[in-house]
Each structure stands twice: as structure tokens, then as C-alpha cells.
Structure 1
Amino acid sequence: MTNWLVLSAVITVTAVIAQAVRLVLMVINGWRNRKKAVGVFHPYTNDGGGGERVLWCAVKAIQDENPNLDCVIYTGDHDASPDSLTGRALDRFGVKLIHPPKLCQVVHLHRRKWVEETTYPRFTMIGQSFGSIYLAWEALCKYTPLYYFDTSGYAFTYPVARVFGCKVFCYTHYPTISLDMLSRVHGRSSMYNNDSLIAKSALLSRFKVIYYTLFSWLYSIVGSCAHLAMVNSSWTQSHIEKLWGIGARIRRVYPPCDTSRLQALPLEKSMKPPKIVSVAQFRPEKVGIFMWSLWNQGTHSYAGVSSDLVRLLGGAVAGIHSMTDEHFGISVVEYMAAGAIPIAHNSAGPRMDIVLPEDGKKTGFLAQSVEEYAEAIIEVIKMTENERLEMAAAARKRASMFSEQMFYEDFKAAVRPLFYDGTK
């Protein structure tokens, strides 16, 4: 029996050592074969939201800043190809890549299920984060670039990229965990990130606080591995600075908002009757308390998309945004560009970056309670035409600072020190 136990132990140790050696050899191979390229980690390239607009605008900015660097996309969409992605960037977002051939390779990832929400019914946040490590390992073993660029918020992949010898930079739309989330759980507030069952239980709340605290500690460690972190707003920047502790390596780069069609709309609006719109996904954290109360009372109509959205915004005198702590708030920028007075939630991006005075003139309203939203709506309706036009013009001018061109300039300025290697 003793000999059998010794033999089993030897076999186990040998297997562990063999696996460790295999992993080390994979890393060494990656180091030796690093390509002069930017590897863009974006597992969901077929999505059509703001994150994908940032992706393609960022690729275009990289191509313009350093044409000597290839751009390689890590994606879990198996139907993606260089031609289809280049076409999608143009057709869906109007982004014409400068050097399409430089989108030289698409690295297909076969383990994307490890970052999918459905894979983790419980402890979703930490499950997806650790799953991203596995996915990044697959990506970097298949293709190791000089620069690793995360555009989807998978901070737990950064240490992996550093192990493979990559310079790591990212565009962070919002922190995976924020101090606000932690405080809400600690205060036992029922909200989108804190189920009412947990909020009502002191014991469950205590366990969740421990879980969030542990996760935020891990998030701080992995985030600090980034050589450069670009963030989309002052709110995101504040949280990332506190969590990652890399103040000097953080740059605020506002997302590219394509508002050219909206900027061309006339500022004069019909007030018979006055039209007010709200553009959002109808889920609690997006529509907020005010619009959710209207929704529950039967007011179910909301904007469509594309040309319908332009038409609706063109006729609207005001636009309502009611998401608490929205990291940026592209819909607010769209309201302002279209000449619709924004009535936005008094938090995060809208309060800190968007609905700010322009040339000393007010650009909209901020509200938090149902009463404050109602008061703002009444004030817009009661405005004289000249007062409304003056505010709408100031808001439109403010919206222009979030253009695609501003994104390109700020993005290139942020990555330039990282890219400079005498090869440009």
C-alpha cells in the first residue's frame, strides 16, 4: 500500500511538472514569435453597439498613427473574416479603415463560452473574469503581438498579456466593479446589481460585501498591469484611478459619437404639441425610476432606430435620460446634437462631462427624483422660443466636442508615447 501511494504521488507530481513545463514553453514560444502588431481583444465583434464603434474607430486611429503596425482582431465570432469585418465597420458604423489590408488576420477563439454570462448562473462577475484568463491564453498562444489592446473590459487578461511580453493598453467603458456598487450592497439598497432577496437579508448582504471586496482587490491587481488605460468619462476615470492606482497612466478619451446627421437638423421645433423622447433599452438600470414609473403606468412607446430615430429627435423639444450612474451617456449627446433639450440623470457622465455650461450658457437640465424630472419638463415647455433656441444652440455646440474627429485626435495622443519605438 505504501509503495502504491508513493508511486501515485510521483505520477501526480510528474504530471504537474510536465504541465508546468508545457505552459512555460508556450510562453517562451510566444515571446520568441511576437509580431509587430496590435492584438485587439474583442470577443464579440458582431454586436452593434457603442463598444463596436469604439473598436473600429480605434483600429482606424492606430492605422493612422503607426502604419507599420498590423491590427489583429481576437474574436469568438467564427463567421468573422478580414473582409467581413472591414465591410461591417463601413456599413454599420461608417468607419472606412485607412489600410484595410493591414487588418491582416482574424484570430478565431473557440473558448468564448467561458466569458458568457449564461455559463455562470451564480458568481457571474468573477466567473466571467476568470474565464477571460482562459480565453486570453488561447488568443495569445495562437498569435502573440507586441501590443495587446483590450476594448471589452476584460481586465483579468492583462497579467496574461504581460507574461507573454506584450505592452498592454485598454479602452475601459466602465469598471467591472465600482465603489458605488459596493456601497449599495453595504447599504442594503435593492437595485440592478443587488437583488432584493439579498438586500433584505443581513447575512446575505454581509457575504456579498465580502465577495465584492475580494473581487475589487483582485480587480485592482490585474488592472494595475495596464501600461495605458483610456477611459470614456470623468466618472469612469475617477473609479479606475481609485481601484487600479495608476493615475499617471490613465487618459480620458471620450467615445466617438457620430452626430453629423443630427447636427444638420433645424433647431426650430413645433410646440403643437411639444414632443419629448427617451432613447434607452427598457430595463431598470437604463430607464431609471422616472421612466420606469411611466412604463408601469402604460406609457410604452419609445424611439426606433436609424432614420426613424433621426426623425423623432428632429421633432423633439426635449430628451429624457434617466439611468443612474451611466458611465458616459451617448443618448444625451444625441439629444443635444439634434437640438432636443436634455433632461438627464444627475449622476456620472451626464453630470460630470456632458450637460455642462457652454460659453457660460446652460445646455440642459439634470434631475434625480420624479418631481425634479417633472419640473424640468414643465420648464422646457414653458420656455419662450428664444430661450429654448439659445439653450439648444449651446447644447449642440457642447455636443460637438464628442465627435469622431475628437476621438481620433485624443486616442492618437494617448497611444503615441506607447507606440513610439523609432519605427514610424
Structure 2
Amino acid sequence: MGLVLSLLELGVAFSFFFLVAALYYIRNCKRKAQPVVGFFHPYTEDGGGGERVLWCAVRAIQELLPEYNSVVIYTGDYATSESLAARAAEKFGIKLKAPLEVARLHRRKWVDAATYPRFTLIGQSLGSIVLAWEALTTLTPLLFLDTAGYAFTYPLARLFGCVVICYTHYPTISSDMLRRVKTRTSIYNNNSRIANSYLLSTAKVLYYRVVAQLYGWAGSCTHLAMVNSSWTRAHIEELWRIRSRTIRVYPPCDTSTLQALPLRRRVKDGYIISVAQFRPEKAHGLQLEAFRLALKTLQQSPDFQEVQLKIVGSCRNEEDEKRVQTLRDECKRLEIQTHVEFCVNVTYSELVELLGGAVAGLHTMIDEHFGISVVEYMAAGAIPIAHRSGGPMMDIVVDEEGKKTGYLAENAEEYAAAICEVFNLSGEKRLEMAVAGRKRALRFSEVKFDDTFKQAMRAVL
């Protein structure tokens, strides 16, 4: 209890210091916001869905506000205007309308999770204020757009006279996180040592409540909050309490190539695919256990003796590589190693080919905020089997014009049952579901994102 209160006092003192410093700086230097749009995105080369949102948003702003002098990217990467524009074009197929400006951030370590082995949430949140201070004193934009989820920067940006807009992929803290700690549920962000201790769990609940209060106040300082899913919107509205300024804008999913793949699959020779980074929250262990159970049932039929699971993902570092090796070892323990293939760091063309032959696609992350891989399964014609939570349940694996688009599951038994059902569907029924899924996937295109993003921007401008 004392440690948490000390942490709260430290956070209040830290925030108060920056508030006073910002007011003093602004008053004495008489800084004026420049007629530019600044995108706060410290990790501009993460390669995920967040980066695609960044470049689509930049392009949309350039089209919507051509009268602004320029668009500035605040990044901690060693990047140039040319290299970022080239990356947007080569990796995501997004051609920007005009050259960018780059404002290099030298204090990115303040938002790096590795900097805070303990109390990571509050550490990164307060650290983002330091990084935002560097960004705003380097160049103060008229429009400050955060596309990376650093809500604690919004009060500071308001003090600097910016119009603050954000695109939130995932709430820093949510009622679901609090509930799991209160019920002492062991999961990737609540380790068993804390879950098994009443005292530690009570202290963590108090810590989370403190962070949630601070997060709610900081988030409410934005003029417009765009969120990526119904699940995220519900949590943001609950915490930030700015319902009239919160708009759902689905992320842009480039599925045009996948939409061209044939929908008919030879199920007898087909396989199941899983596309996700090798991170703890992706719950690959659950996939292996579910596949083991499904395999026992499927192999009772002579048609499904060689069913395979292909796990596709990228390794960012040595830690991810160790996770892959642990999963390989788990396959041996479960005696399914001859039926599981790991496809690590594949190219996009290889991914398209893999999706084009998949009968079903697995997704096992709890409370996935959206679920781009699930949309990709549906666009490619693979029947999705996703976790019954978050974006996949609320927005994606939803009936399309009364037709089923996929399956939802929670535990290994439910996933196994769904896998078996997909493989035993008649050709006609499977095709009908694939058609409905592909139609549903069109709701999450780049064109839809562009239209909704611009509409939301016009409202605040």
C-alpha cells in the first residue's frame, strides 16, 4: 500500500513539475503553433497495423488539408523524409501526396518498456510526457495527432496551444485488466506470483485504479478520439468520458490482393493457418493444444490423416526466437511435431500463398482490440476461428446479411470442435461461409478508413 501511494505521489509531483515548466516556457518564450500537422509516432518502423494507420492518416491529411505547410513526423528512428516515404510505398503500397518533415526524437528510451522492469504502465506513461516535451519544443504544430496511444501527452499538447487528435488502437488500461487482477487470474500481463498472492493482487488493483484515473483525465484532454473497434470505443468512453468526441474508425486492411484468391479449397489436402507475431498475448500454446485435440478426431477419417497447422509470424528479437523454440519443444511434448510447420519472417508474397491454401485461420488472443489477421483470413477465403472477445467478436466475425462468417471459441475444446466442423463442412456450405466472410472483410478496407477518417477530421476542424 505504501509503495503504491509513494508511486502516486511521485506521479503527481512529476506531472505538476511538467505543468509548471510548460506554463513557464510557453509564457516566457511566447511560442506560437506553426501551421503544420504533427504526427506523434515514436516507433515509425514497427511494421504492424499501427504503422499502416499512420501512413494512411498522413495521406488523408495531405488530401484534406493541402493549405497546411507540411506534415511533420515525430520519430525516434534514424529516418529521413525520403526513407519514410519510400517505406510507406514499398511496405504498405501507400504513396504520399507531398514530402514530409522529420523531427528526430532523442529521448525515446523514456517510453521503452525495457526502461521500466517494474511499474511499466506508469513509467511509460510519465515517460511519454518527457518525449512529448522534446517534440513540442522542437516544433509546435497546430494539429497534434497521436497515432501510437500516448494519452499522457495530450494535456501538454493542449498547453502548447495544439488541437489534439488521437487514433487509439488499445487502451493503456481497461476494466478487463482490473477484473483479471481482482479475480487473481494468471495471464501474460498478470503473472502467477501476483495472481497467487492476495496481498500483491490487492496492491496491483490499487495501482491499476490510480493509473486508470490518471489515464482517464489525460485522455479527456483530446479534442477528438478516433478508436479502431467497438471494444476499444467502449473502454475509452468508460475511462475518458468524452462520448460525443469518440468516433470508431476501423483500421485500413489492405486485402485487395487477398480478395483475388480463389475461394474454393481442396479440404482433403488443406491446412490450418495462424498468423501472429510471436508474443505471449497471442496464446500460441492454446493453438497447439486445440490442434492436438482436433487432430485426434480428424484422423479417425481416412481423408484427414495429413492435416497440418502452419504457424506464420515474425521474430523481432532474440526473445521472440526463444518463444518459437519453446513452441517447437511443446509440439514434441504433444507429439504433433510432424503436423506443425513454423513459417518465420515470411515475405508478403509467401504469406499470400499460404493464406490462399488455408482451409481455416486460427486467432487465440484474448481481448484483441481489432484483429487484422482475422480480416485477412476472411478476405483470403480461409474460415476464421477467433477468440470470443474484443474486436473479432464485436466487429469482425459477425453474420453478414444473415450468413455465418466464421467461428468464435474460448478454450481448447471449443477451438478443436470448430476446427473439426470446418473440415467436415460440405463444399457448398464452406463456400457460402467463405463468400460471406469475404464480403464482411470489405468493411475494413483502406477506402473505408480514408472516408471515415476524413469525415471525423472535418467534424473537429
TM-score normalized with structure 2 length? 0.83
The answer on whether the counterparts of 2:195 and 2:201 sit within 8 Å (CA) in structure 1 is yes
1:22-421 matches, cutoff 5 A: 23-28=22-27, 32-69=31-68, 70-77=70-77, 79-98=78-97, 100-101=98-99, 103=100, 105-287=101-283, 290-293=286-289, 295=327, 296-298=330-332, 299=337, 301-303=341-343, 304-419=346-461
The answer on whether the counterparts of 1:30 and 1:144 sit within 8 Å (CA) in structure 2 is no
Q: Say which is worse superposed, 287-296 or 105-114, in terms of deviation.
A: 287-296
After superposition, what is the alpha-carbon deviation per residue over 1:361-420, rounded to whole angstroms, capped at 9, x for unaligned? Answer: 11111111111111111111111111111110010000011000000000000111223x
Amino acid corresponding to residue 414 of structure 2 in structure 1: E
After superposition, what is the alpha-carbon deviation per residue over 1:96-147, rounded to whole angstroms, capped at 9, x for unaligned? Answer: 012x23x2x2111111111111111111110010000011011101101111
Q: In structure 2, what is the Cα distance between the partners aligned to 1:74 and 1:107?
A: 5
Aligned residue pairs total: 398
Q: In structure 2, what is the Cα distance between the partners aligned to 1:402 and 1:170?
A: 19
The answer on whether the counterparts of 1:43 and 1:109 sit within 8 Å (CA) in structure 2 is yes
Amino acid corresponding to residue 431 of structure 2 in structure 1: L
The answer on whether the counterparts of 1:117 and 1:124 sit within 8 Å (CA) in structure 2 is yes
Q: CA separation of 1:161/1:376 partners in 2, compared to 1, >3 Å: closer, same or farther?
A: same
Amino acid corresponding to residue 144 of structure 1 in structure 2: T
**Shift in Å, 1:25:** 4.6
Q: In structure 2, what is the Cα distance between the partners aligned to 1:148 and 1:112?
A: 18
**Shift in Å, 1:215:** 0.4
Q: In structure 2, what is the Cα distance between the partners aligned to 1:324 and 1:163?
A: 37
Q: In structure 2, what is the Cα distance between the partners aligned to 1:403 and 1:364?
A: 19
**Shift in Å, 1:33:** 2.5
**Shift in Å, 1:66:** 1.2
Q: In structure 1, what is the Cα distance between the partners aligned to 2:378 and 2:87?
A: 27
After superposition, what is the alpha-carbon deviation per residue over 1:218-243, rounded to whole angstroms, capped at 9, x for unaligned? Answer: 00100000110000000000000000
Amino acid corresponding to residue 167 of structure 1 in structure 2: V
The gaps in structure 2 that reach 5 residues or longer are 1-17, 292-326
The answer on whether the counterparts of 2:19 and 2:156 sit within 8 Å (CA) in structure 1 is no
- Counterpart of 1:9 in structure 2 is none
**Shift in Å, 1:74:** 0.5
Q: CA separation of 1:415/1:379 partners in 2, compared to 1, >3 Å: closer, same or farther?
A: same
The answer on whether the counterparts of 1:170 and 1:226 sit within 8 Å (CA) in structure 2 is yes
Q: CA separation of 1:120/1:201 partners in 2, compared to 1, >3 Å: closer, same or farther?
A: same
The gaps in structure 1 that reach 5 residues or longer are 1-18, 420-424
Identity of aligned residues (%): 61
Amino acid corresponding to residue 334 of structure 1 in structure 2: E
**Shift in Å, 1:38:** 1.1
- Counterpart of 1:10 in structure 2 is none
Q: CA separation of 1:54/1:351 partners in 2, compared to 1, >3 Å: closer, same or farther?
A: same
Q: CA separation of 1:274/1:236 partners in 2, compared to 1, >3 Å: closer, same or farther?
A: same
TM-score normalized with structure 1 length? 0.91
After superposition, what is the alpha-carbon deviation per residue over 1:309-328, rounded to whole angstroms, capped at 9, x for unaligned? Answer: 11111001111111111000
Q: In structure 2, what is the Cα distance between the partners aligned to 1:219 and 1:292?
A: 37
The answer on whether the counterparts of 1:284 and 1:292 sit within 8 Å (CA) in structure 2 is no
Q: Say which is worse superposed, 372-381 or 224-233, in terms of deviation.
A: 372-381
* Secondary structure at 2:405 match in 1: coil
* Secondary structure at 2:190 match in 1: coil
Amino acid corresponding to residue 411 of structure 1 in structure 2: F
**Shift in Å, 1:22:** 6.8
The answer on whether the counterparts of 1:288 and 1:324 sit within 8 Å (CA) in structure 2 is no
CA RMSD of aligned residues (A): 1.8
* Secondary structure at 1:40 match in 2: strand
Q: In structure 2, what is the Cα distance between the partners aligned to 1:126 and 1:388?
A: 47
